[in-house]
């Protein structure tokens, strides 16, 4: 019986750790904020922002003074009724502590008292948007604009609601209108830049971020977003410079640390990348992507125990992310823990049952565990899902050779040669055929 060395089969696996290059969530669209000094000014002046936060101060009640016992029944005190100012103050307190249901209720009370107040519709719409009720948010912002057609902030906020719905064209149209009404509205430029970015117009996005930063040099989000655009253009030095500036402006900016780590890793500066991922995790202990990418760095440096610990944490945070199980499976395999690797490949297959590469990879782990027949079943499934999987043919050939089925092994190596344009797998197939005494 002619055997194919395990080293040949390991080469067939062809796996790579899955890094999450850039964050899936684009931090760009913002609600606008302003701090007016009095409710009266709010009702008389054009507001400068969307989600209005009203500072509310409270005067302590004076110490109670003992009163003489009355000789007759006391006169009933009048029942106090809430004023619009009370509802404004309540809405401000609710928004300050992030209680969106309370804020919506308070703005609804303001609207009931003053139904022509565009600001109240704008703010309630923004609260609905933050709660994820985008249709209701757009309805309120429509009403705010109907009441005040020159309400730039309402256009910007409605654009953000369209952005959240994935309707980039409507979002850009609303940002255009907001900018036409208020050319100094930095948030609208930032938001339009984010929409351009998501549409793939990176140069237009950068132009908008430039304008936002020119209007507000301390605008951390716009600076970060410009860094993201440079990052996707491949200009990593400019990207890192913007991430640096965003972090200087906002030292707790976890996402900027994370993306700077991605950029450092792409440049090969693994120590800085690892440090940035550590900062991101320290600031956001639920940052699954940062654990995953730091785990990949540990694995690349041979620190497999630390890598697996990070993958464990990432999986605990995101148990439905198949890529995290892929990375942990590879680390377990490199440790020689094939049973643990198989368990992780089981999870990948449960999450992605049409992923032929997962069956192939589980087959390799089974082969290395001595489960050769089960390995062949996995390679069969991988090939059924992808008849052009040259790696699976090479792996199945090695498994058939291990069982002494030389004819099937030769057929699989020849099929790999027939379908593969990859020099690596063609060389593997030729080497396998030579070891079996067959002509390539």
CA dihedral over 7, 8, 10, 14, signed as positive or negative: positive
Task: Provide the pLDDT for residue 69.
Answer: 46
CA dihedral angle for residue 82, residue 85, residue 89, residue 90, rounded to 10 degrees: 30
| CA–CA dist 264, 258 (Å, integer) | 10
pLDDT at 64 (0 to 100): 41
pLDDT at res. 81: 62
Check residue 19 and give its pLDDT: 57
Task: Give the span between the Cα atoms of 159 and 168, in whole angstroms.
Answer: 8
- Determine the pLDDT at residue 130: 92
Q: What is the per-residue pLDDT for 388?
A: 95
74: burial class by Cβ within 10 Å (0-12, 13-18, 19+)?
Answer: exposed
* Per-residue pLDDT at 59: 29
pTM over 0.75: yes
DSSP run (H or E) holding 382? helix 372-385
Residue 33: DSSP 8-state:
E
Question: Which residues are CB-contacts of 258 (< 8 A; sequence separation ≥ 6)?
Answer: 23, 276, 277, 280, 287, 289, 290, 293
Alpha-helix residue ranges (DSSP H) falling in 114-185: 118-131, 134-147, 152-165, 168-181
| 3-class secondary structure per residue, 258-327 | HHHHHHHHHCCCHHHHHHHHHHHHHHCCCCHHHHHHHHHHHHHCCCHHHHHHHHHHHHHHCCCCHHHHHH
Q: Give the DSSP H or E segment for 34.
A: strand 33-34
> What are the structural domains, with CATH classification, of the chain?
1-23+336-440 (1.25.40.10), 33-57+82-181 (1.25.40.10), 185-250 (1.25.40.10), 256-321 (1.25.40.10)
Q: Show pLDDT as tens, one digit a residue, over the chain (440 residues).
A: 334 444 444 444 444 455 554 443 333 444 343 232 323 332 332 232 333 222 222 223 333 434 444 444 455 554 456 677 788 888 888 878 889 999 999 999 989 989 999 999 999 999 999 999 999 999 999 999 999 999 999 999 999 999 999 999 999 999 999 999 999 999 999 999 999 999 999 999 999 999 999 999 999 999 999 999 999 999 999 999 999 999 999 999 999 999 999 999 999 999 999 999 999 999 999 999 999 999 999 999 999 999 999 999 999 999 999 999 999 999 999 999 999 999 999 999 999 999 999 999 999 999 999 999 999 999 999 999 999 999 999 999 999 999 999 999 999 999 999 999 999 999 999 999 999 999 87
């Amino acid at each position: 019986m002619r055997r194919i060395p395990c080293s040949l089969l390991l080469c067939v696996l062809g796996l790579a750790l899955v890094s999450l290059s850039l964050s899936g969530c684009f931090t760009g669209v913002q609600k606008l904020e302003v701090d007016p000094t009095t409710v009266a000014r709010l009702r008389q002046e054009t507001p400068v922002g969307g989600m209005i936060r009203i500072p509310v101060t409270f005067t302590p009640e004076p110490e109670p003074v003992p009163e003489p016992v009355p000789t007759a029944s006391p006169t009933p005190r009048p029942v106090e009724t809430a004023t619009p100012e009370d509802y404004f103050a309540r809405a401000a307190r609710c928004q300050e502590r992030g209680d969106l249901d309370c804020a919506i209720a308070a703005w609804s009370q303001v609207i009931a008292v003053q139904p022509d107040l565009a600001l109240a519709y704008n703010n309630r719409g923004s609260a609905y948007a933050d709660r994820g009720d985008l249709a209701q948010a757009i309805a309120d912002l429509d009403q705010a604009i109907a009441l005040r057609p020159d309400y730039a902030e309402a256009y910007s906020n409605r654009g953000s609601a369209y952005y959240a719905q994935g309707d980039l064209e409507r979002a850009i149209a609303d940002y255009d209108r907001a900018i036409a009404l208020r050319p100094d509205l930095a948030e609208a430029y930032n938001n339009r830049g984010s929409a351009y970015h998501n549409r793939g117009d990176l140069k237009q996005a950068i132009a908008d971020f430039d304008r936002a930063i020119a209007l507000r040099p301390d605008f951390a989000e716009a600076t970060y977003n410009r860094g993201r655009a440079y990052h996707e253009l491949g200009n990593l030095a400019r990207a890192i410079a913007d991430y640096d500036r965003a972090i200087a402006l906002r030292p707790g900016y976890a996402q900027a640390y994370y993306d700077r780590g991605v950029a450092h890793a792409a440049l090969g500066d693994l120590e800085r990348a690892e440090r940035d991922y550590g900062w991101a995790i320290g600031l956001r202990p639920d940052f699954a992507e940062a654990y995953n990418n730091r785990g990949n760095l540990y694995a690349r440096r041979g620190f497999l125990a630390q890598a697996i610990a990070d993958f464990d944490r990432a999986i605990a945070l995101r148990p439905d992310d198949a890529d995290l199980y892929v990375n942990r499976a590879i680390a377990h395999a490199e440790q020689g823990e094939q049973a643990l690797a198989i368990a992780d490949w089981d999870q990948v297959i449960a999450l992605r049952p049409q992923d032929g590469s997962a069956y192939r990879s589980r087959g390799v782990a089974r082969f290395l565990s001595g489960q050769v027949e089960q390995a062949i079943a996995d390679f069969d499934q991988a090939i059924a899902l992808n008849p052009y999987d040259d790696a699976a043919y090479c792996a199945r050939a090695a498994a058939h050779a291990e069982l002494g089925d030389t004819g099937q092994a030769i057929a699989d190596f020849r099929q790999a040669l027939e379908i593969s344009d990859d020099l690596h797998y063609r060389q593997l197939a030729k080497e396998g055929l030579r070891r079996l005494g067959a002509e390539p």
